[in-house]
Structure 1
Amino acid sequence: MDLLLWRHAEAVDGSPDHTRELTERGLKQARKMADWLDQHRPKRLRVLASPTMRTRQTAAAFTDAFEIVPALGPECGVSDLLAASGWPDATGATLLVGHQPGLGRLAALLLSGIEADWTIKKGALWWFTNRVREGESQTVLRAVIPADLA
């Protein structure tokens, strides 16, 4: 399985939190990453987004075929993200468009085996693959792409 974590692009400050929209810079970040994803995407990619406006706008820069998943909201935890994605047992690939600190904590768990307060920058993408070698399940970090390098 492939698991891609995409933090929403830069959004305006304010409240209510769920209705915050992307800034002009955020829209550019989302389009650049969407272009990168379009060129490198895995086959059979399922796209799941938090219900917030900024994550829906980020996902929409890439595709209109995304599913809004309440469990991916800003208050979500690692267990919510894992359940939504089906990691590591689902087939194909899943792209989660979400928030800090949940995405960073999930990245830490996948790479180090424990949750920790790691930061995924706004608009950045982290791509993980799960594979089995000699009967052992392994997590492989395939790519980390910050928005400004997409």
Structure 2
Amino acid sequence: MYVDLQTDDLSDGAVIELLRAHLEEMRKYSPEASIHALDTGKLKDPRMTFWAARVDGQLAGCGALREISPRLGEIKSMKTGSAFLRMGIAAWVLEAIMREARRRGYTRISLETGTHNAFEPAVALYRKYGFIECGPFADYAPDPYSRFLTRAIREKTGMV
């Protein structure tokens, strides 16, 4: 399977539609006030860089990197299309995000995800890549429906 992974300007609407469906799905597991997915207007924040993974022209997954500070990046909007689950798409996107975080000189990359069992596959992926539990960061507050993960990025030794 060939995965075409490119930065995406969101102009074709495919990533926005995938994330809209993701937002609807998250409403099954968390109350509205605890959902930190970005609405359509915030997706085009200039501090965000999106990646889209396509297989045979079909959107397979996406993810974004948002700059919180010159040393901290946040992973946002990670989602794999249902037809592409467990095919390694999320890992491809995560690796691209981590490479970009390192290129930008971030020393840390963090993320927020849910606590429901439905989020466990994502948490397992992040742990595989060295993410560990942490407290809230940036503008987040403690929330029983949120889990926070982070990992250091070192220049000399690569991603770990």
**TM-score of the pair, normalised by structure 1:** 0.36
**Structure with a larger share of its residues in strand:** 2
**TM-score of the pair, normalised by structure 2:** 0.35
Q: Which has the higher contact order (CA 8 A, sep 6+)?
A: 1
